[in-house]
Structure 1
Amino acid sequence: MERRCPRTISLYARSRQPALSYEDPRKDFYVGAVPFGWTWGDSLGTQNSQGCSQPPLSQFGGNALSMTIRAHTFITLGKLCLQHGGLAKRCIAALARELETSSDAAVRNNVMIVMCDLCIRYPNLVDRYIPNLASCLKDRSLIVRKQTLNSLTHLLLEDYVKWRGPLFFRFLSTLVDDSEVIWKFSEFCLVQLLLKRQPTMLFQHFLEAIFHFNAYEGQAAYNKFTQTDREKALFSLKGEENASKRMKLYNFMLQHMEDEHRFHVTAKLCQDILGNFVDNVLPLNEDTEDILKDTLTILGCKDIKLTSLKSKNANHDDIVEEIEMAQAVMNQAKNKLISQVVKKNVIENIVPVVIALKQMLVKKRSPLVKHLMLFMKELMKDYRHEIKDILSADRQLASEIEFDLRRFDEQQEAEKQRQEAETSSGVSQQKTLDHPWFVQLEIFPPGTSIEGLAENSAHQGPTHPLAFLD
């Protein structure tokens, strides 16, 4: 009888296991090799423009085999590597290179599956090539991206792969994939599977996510991963054009945090980012403007506010059980305690940093003053009395802040009215252009005589409706 290693999972066996699905499993893809006789082209599911680059020739090149045979050859090679560790050591580097060099989606898919199976059999051997596997999350083929997402989720759930290096951010970036199939499946994997195993994962990586997604490497503690230029280009979310994608990721992380984590995130954002800008630990330049802008936008968004402070006690009936009454009293006391802690944090940590940052931005005439004023407006809306108490000792500063907020509101209102006026004028102008009696004026070159124009028009006859009125 053939002996099998208990930790070995054959590719054929895995190909018969259903993939993770958030809807109907029968509609989903299956993890495994491409069935015999099924040929893939790169046109299959190519919904991502950020495809694999084409470095020099593959180490498996130099033959005239068809892509279908090559795809099945890698599956056979993978089965041999599962049984022979020496062969796996000799082939693993070439397999990883094939993920970048191959132009066929079936080959890349099968190589990815082989490497995931080798990760189960020889985890230490494949560990250094996890970034190569993660790069397949940005493959130009939709099926390869989904197969990679599925396989990495299985490996993470079974602890064959750890959240080391940039893997967390690679996985998280699939939430802004161009394909709805991918980002919905990624959300399912994170929320329903991975976050249940590690509920504090989003909180632990939140601050680093701001530096990573803005591609800033000048901070001493964050974003110190080893990345190739190809990986940076594939997963880049830097720049104003990707601001909405970054905010989608930040909001997702905040929405799936507990109130305790949101509270600590708020404190860290103010101390470790805003405070560093005030102390000139982080210089304010073109590379860091987006970091400060993202931080101020996050602090002013609704997802970072504590849900326990927004919830109100429901009206109870006259007859309430003792257990429910005790629970209601405990919740009320807990919310009151949390409210006091939050207000104390606002008074001691947030307001002084925000005031110092405002003075610095005004002095440098930075356009980020607008984003800071939006955050201050949210602060005044939630903690007006506490901020007035802390500013009571400095009447002039309190008057300046109140005046700035009032002027900012007026500017925002004027800008809104101007945009509405431009929109309405554009609509009315378009209606005028579309009117049947509208006359398009012609511009004639200098030296043209009016008599000549009149004579020509007399010979040509009326050219527009108003000519009949003469």
Structure 2
Amino acid sequence: CVHYTSLVDRFVPSMADLLRDPNELLRKQATMVLASLLSENFIKFKGPLMYRFLYGLSDPAATVRSFVECLFIRIIHKRSPTIFTQNFVSVVCVLNGWSGHPSYPGAADNESFCLREHPPRRTAVYRFMLSLMTQAQKFSVCAQLVTGFLAAFADAEGQQRLKLPRTEAEAGGQALSDAFALLCCKEMRVCFSPKLASQEEDESPEAETIASSLSAAVSGGSAAAVGGAEAARGAFSGLLRRVVCESIVPVLIQLKDLMEAERSPFLGRLRHCLCEILREFRDDLPDVLGSDAKLVEEIAFDLAGGASARAGANGNLGEAPEGSAAAEKKALWDAAYEAGYGSKPHLFKKRHSIGSFMAASAASAPAPTPAAPESAAPHEARLVRSPRRISLRRPAASPSPAASPTASDLTATASDITASDITASDYTQTGSEVPSPSP
């Protein structure tokens, strides 16, 4: 490696394949050898090697995982702080094993390192990458997800538009779900706040550079006029608002209309995404959404009523046109509100169940008066017949000067009293009717 570095490059993929070996010791040794070569700059961290080390960020063994994290933090990220920003969307496609996107075909050569069947491990990789990004870098990734990834499903700008996946089980469906989840995650959501953006632009020395490149690459000529000079003057929050209004929201609205026409199962996720992005612009929805008054009312309804939290359950949120299924559902909710459920028609959180109403009505009803027990005659004899013992018991009599009978006088075992000894007079003593003989 020291003298013939070019001869080693052909063997790097084979060495990196050991990062997914079932043996933990082999994975650890391969990580250490490759890390030492990378630290001395004998091999380049690019192409398949990068995806294989990102796969190692979700290794089941904590020792291997911590070693890979240390490599990224101390060596890779210090050399190239923007490596995650430039390859984030490609990583989403590779980890889902989807090579159908024309701009990100890297998954074709890394099928063995995809995490399609392991969503928690994919989430761990995404969170680690986002944890090493600045505010401006996160916003750049968000713009790439919308204008570079999602725009291919809505409008490919002269190219063939990608077909929307029908189910989440497909590789493209999982990649689309990951894109929506990333736009709504806590780590990415803060980049849509102008207050947080203005606070971080003073702390991040790279905000000016990222803002200039973002304005040129994402929003084209409209935001480019405001790009580098405006960010250099410390107006990154103004650039954020401009890019959201002119580049991100129009793509999401176009994709929403397409999903509604095709009845896509991803419509609820997109609506939730749109609500989370516009949450910081709720006071300026007409300016952000333009002349679409219906969409403004729907987004305002979702933001005010918290209906975006139910986006995964159904795709129809907000006000719906008359006669539709969503309008009938809203009418049922209004009727339930009139019946006493919930505090507001659109806030259906603190509702009571039918069981609680029944319990409340039962508690308010007057308690039934217990019936007085029937008083038995002082010396009424009762015949008690059991499988093993036949006994004649007398209830406790009122106190009298006469001596009370003992247990031996009142109890007789089955061996002493036979069936022939029980005559009709015994039954008439208790006031019962004589049983008719069996046929």
Alignment TM class, shorter chain as reference: 0.5 to 0.7
Distance 1:146 1:346 in 2: 44
**Cα 1:365–1:162 shift into 2, 3 Å:** same
What is the SS of the residue equivalent to 1:125?
helix
Q: Which amino acid aligns with 1:232?
A: E
Higher radius of gyration, 1 or 2: 2
What is the SS of the residue equivalent to 2:235?
helix
Deviation, 1:343, is 0.6
Q: Which amino acid aligns with 1:292?
A: L
TM-score, reference length from structure 2: 0.57
Deviation, 1:404, is 5.6
- Larger helix percent: 1
Indicate conservation of the 8 Å contact 1:165/1:225, yes or no: no
**Cα 1:147–1:160 shift into 2, 3 Å:** same
**Cα 1:301–1:334 shift into 2, 3 Å:** farther
Deviations 1:390-428 (A, max 9, x none): 33523233223334664834847999x99x999xxxxxx
RMSD (Å) for aligned C-alpha atoms: 3.5
What is the 5 A alignment of 1:359-378? 359-378=257-276
Distance 1:220 1:411 in 2: 33
Deviation, 1:312, is 8.6
1:130 match:
12
Unaligned 5+ segments in structure 1 are 1-118, 314-332, 423-457, 460-470
Deviation, 1:380, is 2.7
1:408 match:
307
Q: Which amino acid aligns with 1:238?
A: R
Unaligned 5+ segments in structure 2 are 200-230, 315-347, 354-386, 389-439
Question: Does residue 1:153 correspond to 2:35, yes or no?
Answer: yes
Indicate conservation of the 8 Å contact 1:308/1:335, yes or no: no
1:170 match:
52
Distance 1:414 1:124 in 2: 54
**Cα 1:369–1:336 shift into 2, 3 Å:** farther
Q: Which amino acid aligns with 2:8?
A: V
Q: Which amino acid aligns with 2:298?
A: E
Distance 2:233 2:187 in 1: 18
Indicate conservation of the 8 Å contact 1:259/1:308, yes or no: no
User: Which residue of 218, 241, 251 maps to 2:100?
Assistant: 218
Equivalent pairs: percent with the same residue?
Answer: 31
Distance 1:148 1:398 in 2: 55
**Cα 1:335–1:309 shift into 2, 3 Å:** farther
Q: Which amino acid aligns with 1:394?
A: D
Distance 2:108 2:291 in 1: 50
Indicate conservation of the 8 Å contact 1:153/1:194, yes or no: no
Deviation, 1:155, is 0.9
Distance 1:421 1:125 in 2: 72
Indicate conservation of the 8 Å contact 2:268/2:311, yes or no: no
User: Which residue of 72, 82, 88 maps to 1:200?
Assistant: 82
What is the SS of the residue equivalent to 1:130?
helix
Q: Which amino acid aligns with 1:180?
A: A
Deviation, 1:388, is 2.9
Deviations 1:9-37 (A, max 9, x none): xxxxxxxxxxxxxxxxxxxxxxxxxxxxx
TM-score, reference length from structure 1: 0.54
Question: Does residue 1:293 correspond to 2:172, yes or no?
Answer: no
User: Which residue of 238, 244, 249 maps to 2:125?
Assistant: 249
Deviation, 1:206, is 0.8
2:218 match:
none
What is the 5 A alignment of 1:347-362? 347-362=245-260
What is the 5 A alignment of 1:75-94? none
What is the SS of the residue equivalent to 2:14?
helix
2:239 match:
341
**Cα 1:414–1:370 shift into 2, 3 Å:** closer
Deviation, 1:385, is 2.7
Distance 2:19 2:352 in 1: 45
What is the 5 A alignment of 1:41-190? 119-190=1-72
Q: Which amino acid aligns with 1:201?
A: I
Deviations 1:105-164 (A, max 9, x none): xxxxxxxxxxxxxx3343222211211100111122222211111111111122211123
Deviations 1:312-361 (A, max 9, x none): 97xxxxxxxxxxxxxxxxxxx97961111101111101111111111222
Distance 1:361 1:300 in 2: 19
What is the 5 A alignment of 1:297-446? 297-304=181-188, 305-306=190-191, 309-310=195-196, 337-391=235-289, 393-403=291-301, 406=305, 408-409=307-308, 411=310
1:238 match:
116
**Cα 1:377–1:353 shift into 2, 3 Å:** same
